[in-house]
Structure 1
């Protein structure tokens, strides 16, 4: 129980850093240097203003200095990060495999919220995911080189074909993110995750059209759906793949 609690707390702390990345990457700012500031008044935040989750609750969701509302995105990202760390530690323990997939999911979490707010997936984020994923993959050794390359080609290639068929309906950031995620998951989970992301996005798009909240030409951020698809494939992909294969008689 204590190791899982530790994983959750570490995930909360990392989630605070992910919030910094979500805010700064689209603005072209560094995510390593510089103090955290209130986006409303610009006041430098102290360490006690930045305690994951607790500071938000203690301040009742408002800046200590200007009393401007703090976005619910901040505690939500911290909770999601903590929950993912806990789930991975429960599934794979404190191992390089768990660390590798936490790094992937953390990058997907950042990509999802940036895409939701700005309708883009920064190249810097995709590059960080790739540069971090290669050494972690070598340490984890749960996905072979051929499987990783096939996974990257399948995920990225499928979305590239979809983008060509839809004449720009799929963003380049989504394609690059799927390609890198495919390296992490390998074959066939990467392809399954991509299909699941497209399926959920399609269902949500139909709902938005039927409720007239979106038109046919309106843009829907695909990053969150793609991330959800990869998350499902990571935890339950083997079972889904085997179930589908059994339906086909394999």
Structure 2
């Protein structure tokens, strides 16, 4: 693993994060991602290229539009930095491998879907459904190159298993689980199943654990009530990413609790 590769991943993450800001803003509104070009949401002035450099432009403009001087939310550079950090972490996890693009795509989708779900309490089909095909196609090269059919089968079973599990919850308790969560669960099952069964189990459990902790924190701080609808997508995505990076150590630790060494 070279420093140059990680640096490239970070720069790519910043660029992708800049595009994700457009996705987060426009997809829930069913707007085109291409036209019009980047513009200030307040005065509609087109953003010049020199004012569209990730993070640096926001800092240079002191968080304000160059034309109307309205504030630009700090969330924009934070999304770019978060995406860059995830890209570096994923690159460090998988190295220069054929499977790397698939998990970089997962990282990008995770950022976009988490932010959209927090904003509008939805996980848009326009992102989730095509991601099944994109994810599968990005995973194909490593199957062909390594003849790793077992990983492909695990991915398909993981996809079906998590989809069915979340569907059962949504069917039995419709007020606590949306069908958008069900569709997202299948996508996460594909990626986690590809890595191994421990990743599926850790990812699913971590999602519910993180969701429960977030809900409890909101209740304690009185930022939400017992009947407040809370987005579950961010917790699912965070749990899945945790499993991508730490399923092995977590599974080993849990196994040691069940079968303690003498």
Instruction: Kindly tell me the number of residue pairs found equivalent between the two proteins.
Output: 250
Q: Residue 68 of structure 1: SS of its match in structure 2? A: coil
| Distance in 2, Cα, partners of 1:131 & 1:175 | 17
Distance (Å, rounded) in 1 between the aligned partners of 2:75 and 2:167: 31
Q: Deviations over 1:65-87 (max 9, x none)?
A: 11111111110111011111111
1:145 Cα deviation after fit: 2.4
Q: How has the CA–CA distance of structure 1 residues 239 and 109 changed in structure 2, closer, same or farther, with 3 Å as cutoff?
A: same
Shift of 1:123: 0.3
8 Å CA contact 1:155, 1:191 repeated in 2: no
Aligned equivalents of 1:107, 1:32: Cα separation in 2? 18
**Following superposition of structure 1 onto structure 2, how do residues 22-37 of structure 1 map, counting pairs within 5 Å?**
22-37=24-39
How far did 1:33 drift? 4.0
- Structure 1: unaligned runs, 5 residues or longer: none
Aligned partner of 1:194 in structure 2 is 204
The structure 2 residue matched to 1:167, chosen from 156, 174, 181, is: 174
2:151 equivalent among 144, 149, 154: 144
Per the alignment, residue 133 of structure 1 pairs with 135
Are the counterparts in 1 of residues 87 and 107 from structure 2 also a CA contact under 8 Å? no
Determine which of 224, 231, 234 is the counterpart of 1:224.
234
Aligned residue among 180, 189, 195 for 2:187 = 180
TM-score for both structures, normalised by structure 2: 0.90
User: Is contact 2:158-2:189 (8 Å) kept?
Assistant: yes
- State the SS of the aligned residue for 1:95: coil
Q: TM-score, normalised by structure 1?
A: 0.94
Q: Distance in 1 between matches of 2:94 and 2:5?
A: 12
Residue in 2 aligned with 1:5? 7
On the 8 A contact 1:37/1:44 being kept in 2, the answer is yes
**Which sections of structure 2, spanning at least 5 residues, go unmatched?**
none
| Residue among 69, 72, 75 paired with 1:73 | 75
> CA offsets per residue over residues 196-220 of structure 1, 9 Å max, x none?
0111111221222233221111011
- Within 1, Cα distance between the matches of 2:107 and 2:182? 17
Cα distance in 2 for residues equivalent to 1:32 and 1:241: 43
RMSD: 1.6
Question: What is the deviation of 1:180?
Answer: 0.9
